[in-house]
Amino acid sequence: MGEMSPMAPNSDPESANDQPAKAKRAPRKPRNLKKHVVSNPIEAEEYFGQQRNKTADLPDPNPSLTAIATGVIDVITGSRQVDQLSRLLSDEVYQRLAQKSALARQQRALLGKKAMIQRFSIQNVHNSSPRDGVIESVVLLNSSSRTRAVTIRLEGINSRWRATQVSVL
pLDDT tens digits for range 142-169: 988 889 999 999 999 989 999 999 999 9
- The Cβ of residue 142 has, within 10 Å, a number of other Cβ atoms equal to 14
Query: Average pLDDT in the 17-29 region?
Result: 59
Check residue 145 and give its pLDDT. 86
Q: What is the 3-state secondary structure (H, E, C) of the chain?
A: CCCCCCCCCCCCHHHHCCCCCCCCCCCCCCCCHHHHCCCCHHHHHHHHCCCECCHHHCCCCHHHHHHHHHHHHHHHHCCCCHHHHCCCECHHHHHHHHHHHHHHHHHHHHHCCCCCCCCCEEEEEEEECCCCCEEEEEEEEECCCCEEEEEEEEEEECCEEEEEEEEEC
pTM: 0.70
Check residue 115 and give its pLDDT. 84
Query: Average pLDDT in the 94-123 region?
Result: 92
Query: Average pLDDT in the 65-84 region?
Result: 95
Question: Pairing between strand 134-142 and 121-128?
Answer: antiparallel
Write the pLDDT tens digit of every residue in 57-74.
999 999 999 999 999 999
Q: What is the CATH T-level fold of the domain 55-168, as seen in this structure?
A: Nuclear Transport Factor 2; Chain: A, (3.10.450)
Q: Which residues have C-beta within 8 Å of that of residue 82, sequence separation ≥ 6? A: 75, 94, 97, 98, 101
Displacement of CA 40 from its chain's centroid (Å): 25
Write the pLDDT tens digit of every residue in 102-114.
999 999 999 998 8
Q: Where are the domains of the chain?
A: 55-168
| Confidence grade of residue 29 (pLDDT, cut at 50, 70, 90) | low
